[in-house]
Amino acid sequence: MAPFELVIFDCDGVVIDSEAISARMLIETLAGYRVEVDRAYVARHFLGRSYPVVMAQIRTDFDIALPEGFEADYRTRLLAAFDSELTVMPGFTAVLSRLGVPYCLATSSSPERVARSLKIVNLEKTFAGRVTTSSEVERGKPAPDLFLAAAGKMGAQPDRCLVIEDSFAGIRAGLAAGMTVWQFTGGSHLTGLELLDDPTAPPHAKIDSFDVFFDGARGLERSTDP
């Protein structure tokens, strides 16, 4: 029997190499409203978080309420950049072609954004009927609700699920759901950053490339026996 019956992938920074684009657009848009942040701040505070949580963090840290037009401004810039720059994470499609257990996507992105992202990189059919977003649960990451909802949709038991996450919030969410969690560190948004691990929520393993995905656990790869 395979050790896992479902692999749950985070979207941004795992399936698609989007977080560097998102960080750049957010930094540039915030600068226009006189809020100065850098890549390390974005990675530390915003990775894996929904847009409302990000805005709440900015209000807390900078004592500012951004105007109503900020979200539209940011999303317009972001989607324009996605259209020209967004790519699938290197090695991901090769992993799916060899994966021998069911898979799905669980993301803090809005339904509209994830649909647009998957269409841009030609993965919309690959994940048709396999997407759960934070809009479907009461609590987003780091609460376990999103991953539990994704597992429930796919008919999988939490303790038989493997979560692939890049963010500390996502790692905490997967662990809180009682799942095995691997931290993926191969996204371009983490290049050159030295982020300290979260000692209170260590992942079960780390992988820095999808090339080593099948080295981490037996039973994940599709059998090639006749």
CATH of the domain at 122: 3.40.50.1000
**Number of folded domains that form the chain:** 2
Q: How far is CA 152 from the centre of its chain?
A: 19
Query: Tens-of-pLDDT digits for all 226 residues of the chain?
Result: 458 999 999 999 999 988 888 888 889 989 988 899 988 888 777 776 777 888 888 999 999 888 888 888 888 898 999 999 999 999 999 999 999 999 999 999 889 989 999 999 999 999 999 999 999 999 999 999 999 999 999 999 999 999 999 988 899 999 999 999 999 988 767 666 666 577 788 999 999 899 999 997 778 988 765 4
Examine the domain organization and report whether 94 and 131 are in the same domain: yes
Rounded Cα distance between 12 and 92, Å, is: 13
Rounded Cα distance between 32 and 13, Å, is: 25
Q: Enter the tokens of residue 143.
A: 């609460």
Please indicate, yes or no, if residue 224 is contained in any of the structural domains: no
Q: Enter the tokens of residue 203.
A: 């992942």
